[in-house]
Amino acid sequence: MRVRRTAAALLLTAAALLTAVPPAQARPARPAADFPTGTTVAPDGRTLFTDQAGRVVEPRGFNVDKYDETTAADLRAIAARGFTLIRVAVSWDRLEPAHGHYDDAELAKLQRLLDWADQDGLLAVIDFHQDVYGPAFGGGDRGIPPWATRDDGLPFVPDPDDWFAGYFQPAVQAAFRHLYDDPDLRRWQAEFYTRLAGELRGHRSLLGYDLFNEPFGPVNGDPSDPAVLAAASAQLEQGRLAAMYQRLIGAIRSVDQRSWLFVEPTVLVGEGVPTQLPGFTDPRPGAPRLGYAPHFYDTAVEDGADWDPADGFIEAYTAAITAYPRAHRLPVLVGEWGPPNSRTPGNTELVRRQIQAMTGFASGWTMWYWCQGEGGYCALGTDGQPAPGDGPAFGPYALALAGHPSGESWAADSYTAAFRADGGWTELAAPPTARITVTGTDRVTIDRSTPGRPRVRVPRGAEVSLTVAVPAQAQARAQVSN
């Protein structure tokens, strides 16, 4: 399993600046997750996903690995815990190891994972992943293939104590510059995206694509200077990265009109630096299906520190994250978040505060990372239960909200949604021990016939507040057995 640290220590100073069709015969073991077909804007300014019935849907789940780690049992367990979404890292290098040659075994492995997701009613976001560009610079097999790597013969000296520092090596800077600028590399990248989208199009579990993981680019000047770094990020987002995203949107849309396409800012957004990305055009017929997929990491925590609630991270991040998606009416899907070790007191509080914050700006999220172990970002402990400190991520929430929301909040062991009801069923993810209360009407129907997926119905037009509370002990051990 990949162990990651997202940002080098020098990024900490930037905060001071305030950036294939699915098999028809496969019958899902669970009800299929509601595919978002549109959006609505909540009073708090968030753009939220809506399903075909007009209900607000909030996909939540975990990052998984398509290679040799994730099993059918993993996806079954994710769904059984009440989640509806996975984010799947794919690698251009593994899928197209030689130019024009696609690895059929790797493509089949990815298709199989999506089939498993479908059987468990999960949606999937395909993450076009890279770390320090790709394998040519020690990035394992995640990223741009060596045959698409041009480093101009410049040096690359890895830092064994800080893999992220590799981004600033001259060879890596040159490789990114060529990827953005060279016409043949642009064409080859677009061809790869088109080919993969053609392979996966129409799959019932496919929510969409995260177009480029943690984008980076050339830095002209001293990267230890926060002003230089912020200027380079803005220049990249306004220029080369924006152009790449628009090309890749067009490449996927040439074969797939259904999927959602998500753009990522640079990692500086985690330091409170707002993105400078422009708006994008979606050539699909009808309403656009574009979204925003930032990551939510604290640099100091990524570098091994226990979180200090006084560092202002949550406040700076929230301030930086809201303007762009609101201006362009984009749903926010937080693609990665969570500390390396949630067991320490500060990091336990960080998880709680991140969940609380995301109810104010996000339309969904995938936590890093679904695995079992001691630390190492594993969401599960060695006993298979939520890791100490990660419990809030497993708390109750609304899978589908039948009405127009006026507010959403999370507190210790409880979830509350205020909304004007449309008369349909609101579906919840909550263990059988959950206490469900509705204020604003005395005409409430609660259906608990599906374990872990209770439903609530109130009359059309009623202005209600729905609260799902789970006793702390029950929350710690809650398992849905489907």
* pLDDT values of the chain reduced to their tens digit, one per residue, 482 residues: 344 444 444 444 443 333 333 333 343 456 677 899 999 999 889 999 999 999 999 999 999 987 778 999 999 999 999 999 999 999 999 999 999 999 999 999 999 999 999 999 999 999 999 999 999 998 666 799 999 999 999 999 989 888 899 999 999 999 999 999 999 999 999 999 999 999 999 999 999 999 999 999 999 989 889 899 999 999 999 999 999 999 999 999 999 999 999 999 999 998 899 999 999 999 999 999 999 999 999 999 999 999 999 999 999 999 999 999 999 999 999 999 999 999 999 999 999 999 999 999 999 999 999 999 988 899 999 999 999 999 999 999 999 999 999 999 998 789 999 999 999 999 999 999 999 999 999 999 999 999 999 999 999 999 999 999 998 644 444 444 33
Check residue 373 and give left, alpha or beta (phi > 0: left; psi -120 to 50: alpha).
left
Give the per-residue SS3 of 172-239: HHHHHHHHHHCHHHHHHHHHHHHHHHHHHCCCCCEEEEECCCCCCCCCCCCCCCHHHHHHHHHHHHHC
Helix (H, G, I), strand (E, B) or coil at 403: strand
- The beta-strand segments (E) located in 264-335 are 290-292, 295-296, 333-334
The confidence score (pLDDT) of residue 31 equals 67
Give this prediction's pTM: 0.92
For each of the domains in the chain, give its residue range(s) and CATH number, in order of start. Answer: 9-19+58-394 (3.20.20.80)
Using DSSP, how many helices (H) and how many strands (E) does the chain show? 11, 21
Helix (H, G, I), strand (E, B) or coil at 465: strand
The confidence score (pLDDT) of residue 140 equals 65
Q: Do residues 45 and 406 make contact, with C-beta atoms less than 8 angstroms apart? A: no
The confidence score (pLDDT) of residue 46 equals 94
The confidence score (pLDDT) of residue 142 equals 79
Q: Do residues 259 and 209 make contact, with C-beta atoms less than 8 angstroms apart? A: yes
